[in-house]
Amino acid sequence: MDKQPLIAREGWLVLLAAFAAALVATWFLGAWSAPFWIWALFALQFFRDPVRVPPTDADAVIAPADGRIVAVEKVDDPYLKREALKISVFMNVFNVHSNKSPVDGEVKGRWYNPGSFVNADLDKASTENERNAIWIHSARGDVTSVQIAGLIARRILCYVRTGDQLVRGQRYGFIRFGSRVDIYLPITARAEVSIGQKVTGARTILARW
């Protein structure tokens, strides 16, 4: 598993600019610089990327992101063209936005679709918003993990390619500012979460094979 600093690399330039602006504002504006410091502290919490140790259960599929469960349903997987169990995690701006692999396996495919930026909490975000999907082939079955941009999120980052090997909990991408991740599992998988439940990326068990 790749080593990742506690602050996501995607945020380094943003944080540098935010804290530099806050310091300059303090020099010139004194107490009126408070909004600059609020923004800098918000950016710091947004780009945090704590180290997580995933469960060791061989039959566990883990959460790919921090957030709240907004969908647990049987649907058609639009990428692998199969009936599937779909579990969706909605991330608000206060959640960790680093995305983790839900299973051990090989990346067998990747699809990018441009789209809209409606609220990622809505069901239609899965089919209308900008999104990036990867197909992970594991020993237990195939998993599709889909990063979806949201109302505020405007950039999806994915660092894996076809042929790459992933382990559960491995960091594979990042979405900036409020978004969603959909997981499509074989229809035989058993959900371990329910709508409205809060989950922790790389730690909470979403389902079991």
CA atoms within 13 A on the CB side of 75: 18
* Under 8 Å between Cβ of 61 and 72: no
Report the distance separating Cα 163 and Cα 108, nearest Å.
Answer: 6
Report the distance separating Cα 30 and Cα 43, nearest Å.
Answer: 21
The alpha carbon dihedral of 17, 99, 116, 151 has a sign of negative
Q: What distances in angstroms separate CA 139 from CA 59, 72, 149, one per listed residue?
A: 10, 23, 29
Is 179 an active-site residue?
Answer: yes
Question: Can you tell me whether residue 121 is helix, strand or coil?
Answer: coil
Residue of 33, 116, 179, 194 marked active site: 179
**Catalytic residue numbers?**
179
